[in-house]
């Protein structure tokens, strides 16, 4: 369960990365960094927007005695800003997704992570009561969630010197972009490709930052977004699915 929670936090942190640059035309972003995802990472900033919302479906695969078990968790993040481009988050009142209330952190970022009362994504309906400059918001995202069907092609062992190519063509659907992440030790490396990309390739140099481990992770996260205006202010709505293969040997 501890690893499941960690991977869920990582998916939420990934949603934060999405919020930092919602540009469907951008092809690749590389971002080697320290792998310390936690609830504090859920502080999204969308360029040009007054607020952002993400519904995140996280699927983690663990193999035990030869049997691969998928564990699914749904969570959500949102944040609101005094002005486009501002880093100051503001109180928006009560925020709910499918009638379940997100927790407001001390920095005004909103997060849902109550695994004892799981979210269902049969629908994705956001409601915001509004406060100050944030108007009441009611929005149902009726797009299908992005999907990735190529889990079985992800390797169980990764030799950094050989690089890594993750096949995406024919396995990703309903996505504007895809993030692919390789994590080892306390580091990860991330790349972004278009939703219709045939593959995502990491060179030996790309992978050199991550550590050797017997419990590495490879993650594939397709996502899409929409812009909607409320009181003539743009807000962004993200659907993300994050698939994680755990227990990857990295050397």
Domain residue spans in the chain? Answer: 2-250
In angstroms, the CA 221 to CA 207 distance is: 18
- Tens place of pLDDT per residue across the chain (251 aa): 444 444 444 555 555 555 555 444 333 333 333 333 332 222 233 456 899 899 999 888 877 677 777 888 898 999 899 888 788 899 999 999 999 999 999 999 899 978 789 999 999 999 999 998 999 999 999 999 999 999 989 999 999 999 999 999 999 999 988 989 999 988 889 888 899 999 999 999 999 999 999 989 999 999 998 999 999 999 999 999 999 998 899 99
Report the pLDDT value the prediction gives residue 31, as an integer from 0 to 100.
36
SS3 state of residue 14: helix
Radius of gyration of the chain (CA): 18
Handedness of CA 219, 209, 238, 102 (dihedral sign): positive
Report the pLDDT value the prediction gives residue 102, as an integer from 0 to 100.
96
78 has which bridge partners? 53, 110
Report the pLDDT value the prediction gives residue 41, as an integer from 0 to 100.
27
Q: Where are the beta strands (DSSP E) in 16-175?
A: 33-34, 51-64, 67-80, 95-97, 100-101, 103-104, 110-112, 125-128, 137-140, 147-148, 157-158, 164-167, 172-173
The CA–CA distances, whole Å, from 134 to 48, 82, 204, 229 equal: 15, 8, 46, 12
Backbone φ and ψ for 96, nearest 5 degrees, come out as: -130, 150
Q: Which residue has the tokens 């992770």?
A: 217
Pairing mode, if any, of strands 51-64 and 125-128?
A: unpaired
Cβ–Cβ under 8 Å, residues 188 and 202:
no
Q: Which residue has the tokens 């990472």?
A: 41
Percent composition of the chain: helix, strand, coil (DSSP 3-state, to 5): 10, 45, 40
Report the pLDDT value the prediction gives residue 121, as an integer from 0 to 100.
95
Report the pLDDT value the prediction gives residue 185, as an integer from 0 to 100.
86
Tokens of 40: 């504090």
Q: Which residue has the tokens 């063509």?
A: 169
* Residue 31: Cβ within 10 Å count: 13
Does the global pTM surpass 0.85? no
Report the pLDDT value the prediction gives residue 84, as an integer from 0 to 100.
85
Ordered alpha helix ranges (H), the chain: 2-19, 204-207
Cβ–Cβ under 8 Å, residues 113 and 10:
no
């Amino acid at each position: 369960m501890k690893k499941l929670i960690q991977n869920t936090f990582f998916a939420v942190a990934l949603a934060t990365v999405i919020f930092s640059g919602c540009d469907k035309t951008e092809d690749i972003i590389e971002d080697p960094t320290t792998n310390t995802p936690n609830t504090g990472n859920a502080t999204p900033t969308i360029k040009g927007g007054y607020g952002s919302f993400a519904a995140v479906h996280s699927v983690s695969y663990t193999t035990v005695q030869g049997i691969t078990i998928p564990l699914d968790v749904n969570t959500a993040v949102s944040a609101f800003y005094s002005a486009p481009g501002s880093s100051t988050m503001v109180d928006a009142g009560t925020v709910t997704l499918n009638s379940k209330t997100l927790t407001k952190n001390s920095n005004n970022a909103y997060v849902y992570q109550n695994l004892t009362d799981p979210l269902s994504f049969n629908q994705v309906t956001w409601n915001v009561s509004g406060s100050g400059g944030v108007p009441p918001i009611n929005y149902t995202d009726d797009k299908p969630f992005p999907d990735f069907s190529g889990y079985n092609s992800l390797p169980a062992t990764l030799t950094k010197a050989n690089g890594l190519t993750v096949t995406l063509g024919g396995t990703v659907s309903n996505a504007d972009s895809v993030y692919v992440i390789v994590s080892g030790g306390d580091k990860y490396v991330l790349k972004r490709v278009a939703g219709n990309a045939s593959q995502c390739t990491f060179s030996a140099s790309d992978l050199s930052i991550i550590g050797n481990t017997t419990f590495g992770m490879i993650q594939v996260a397709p996502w899409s977004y929409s812009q909607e205006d409320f009181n003539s202010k743009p807000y962004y709505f993200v659907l993300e699915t994050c698939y994680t293969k755990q227990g990857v040997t990295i050397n």
